[in-house]
Amino acid sequence: MAKMSETMRNAEKLVESAMKGNDASHDAAHVFRVRDLALSLAREEGLSASPNSMEIVELAALLHDIGDYKYTKSSSPEEKIAEEFLESEGVDEFKKSKILSIIKGMGFKEEIEGHGDSKKHRDVEFGVVQDADRLDAIGAIGIARCFTFGGSRNTALYNPKIMPRSDLCKEQYMKKGEKTTSLNHFHEKLLKLKGLMKTEAGKRRAERRHKFMEDFLQEFYEEWDGRA
């Protein structure tokens, strides 16, 4: 247990070091919120009786955004960096395999492609980590993150002439420099996340955050059009 505590501390240090250059939408604070949310969801889902499961959840949550493709030239470096870290820490093969499987399959881009909902990912550990990451993408914090990321890329707030993409594929989603708006991101992704929650605990929490986004969008459009 002492060794695992040290591994968690080292994972936190890796997160702070690797993500220090990111904008505030995908910084270390995001990862630590996801870790805390994932552990909270795991307890609600009954995983607290299994130390191994809680360790898998915590490490997967901490490592899930290391080397995010949005901030690198590679399309999937996350697993490589995470794998090297887990090997250096001597994490056993079973835990390492589970953690890397969670990281590889939890992204929205994977769900678009159809891999995120495959049977091998329908376990509670996977569900709570993915749900936690998605909960941090919606609600008040999700709204703040959306506009923070958009601002970092000089993305327009809203343009009625640029419609949300309805048939979004993985390649389009990942394409950098695609002409879009921050408001479109709500329709292309964020408003869909409530329906993609995997755990009952995640579904319960998503309801409130989703409603907050709907209210925000209604107010935004009314203000934009001069109706409010």
Q: Under a CB-based contact definition with an 8 Å cutoff, are residues 182 and 162 in contact?
A: no
Q: Tell me: the pLDDT tens digits for 104-133?
A: 999 886 776 554 444 444 699 999 999 999
- Is a pLDDT exceeding 60 seen at residue 173? no
Task: Provide the number of structural domains found in the chain.
Answer: 1
Q: Under a CB-based contact definition with an 8 Å cutoff, are residues 213 and 195 in contact?
A: no
Domain containing 27 — which CATH number?
Answer: 1.10.3210.50
Q: For position 120, what pLDDT does the model report?
A: 46
Whole domain around residue 116: which residue ranges? 2-224
Mean pLDDT of 21-41: 97
67: nearest Cα among 83, 85, 84, 79:
79
pLDDT band at 147 (very low <50, low <70, confident <90, very high): very high
Which helix H or strand E contains 198, and what residues bound it?
Answer: none
Alpha carbon distance, N-terminus to C-terminus of the chain: 57
Q: For position 78, what pLDDT does the model report?
A: 59
- Is a pLDDT exceeding 80 seen at residue 215? yes
- Is a pLDDT exceeding 50 seen at residue 222? yes
Mean pLDDT of 134-162: 97
pTM above 0.85?
Answer: yes
